[in-house]
Amino acid sequence: MARYTGPSCKLCRREGRKLFLKGERCLSEKCALSRRATVPGQHGAGRKAVKEYGLQLREKQTARRYYGVQEKQFKKYYVAADKKEGIAGENLLSLLERRFDNAVYRMGMASSRKEARQLVRHAHFLLNGKKADIPSIILKVGDVITLKEKSRSSEKLKGLIENIADTNAPKWLDVDAEAVSAKVIAIPDREDVDFEFNEQLIIELYSK
């Protein structure tokens, strides 16, 4: 599956918002957006009036890049969210929150969603006791994520394991730091999303 392989910081500069794509670096003085808060490109410093479509597009791109989802896959999430009962925008964010890689990140086992996606692809985690290496799996209530026993000896993962206890996990995840596991105990609602989105703009974009 295609994926973005360019500089992560360029995405934050393009959207004009910190997307926290590089973990702790985004909170440090090395953050590219803090040092150069202009849109990438030759004419990035120029000011342009943004029309309604531009606002909708930027919000969609922000959400897509924040969760690390490709265009075609993001459209599928919108279609699924629109078919569900309730508010389409909130349904969309709920689906994105329940992605396997996002849940690994939210339980504190990765410094960024990109790192969480890599850990999942390398099959470091079990889902309900079985091998699962697909980051886009949508979790359901009752699903349990567990770090593989064999992976606990990894020096890199040892450092991440120590951070779990200090992670402010969302209320839809019941995290057990000692067992290095997390159980989905509820469907995420709008308040559980840890980023300021205007999801209505995304729905308006796709509704045209």
Mean pLDDT of all residues in 84-94: 96
Q: Output 51 or 170, whichever has higher pLDDT.
A: 170
Per-residue CA distances from 42 to 31, 38, 39, 45, 119 (Å): 20, 10, 9, 8, 36
Helix (H, G, I), strand (E, B) or coil at 122: coil
Q: Cα–Cα distance between 189 and 171 in angstroms, integer?
A: 10
Q: Output 13 or 107, whichever has higher pLDDT.
A: 107
* Long-range contact pairs involving 203-206 (C-beta distance under 8 Å, separation at least 24): 203/78, 203/82, 203/88, 203/89, 203/92, 204/56, 205/53, 205/56, 205/57, 205/59, 205/60, 206/60, 206/75, 206/78, 206/82
Q: How confident is the model at residue 92 (pLDDT cuts 50, 70, 90)?
A: very high
Q: Which helix (H) or strand (E) holds 183?
A: strand 181-184
Helix (H, G, I), strand (E, B) or coil at 40: coil
Q: What is the pLDDT of residue 27?
A: 53
In this predicted structure, the answer to whether residue 140 has a pLDDT above a threshold of 80 is yes
Q: How confident is the model at residue 43 (pLDDT cuts 50, 70, 90)?
A: very low
Lowest-confidence segment of 27-41, 54-68, 115-129, 150-164 by average pLDDT = 27-41
Q: How confident is the model at residue 173 (pLDDT cuts 50, 70, 90)?
A: very high
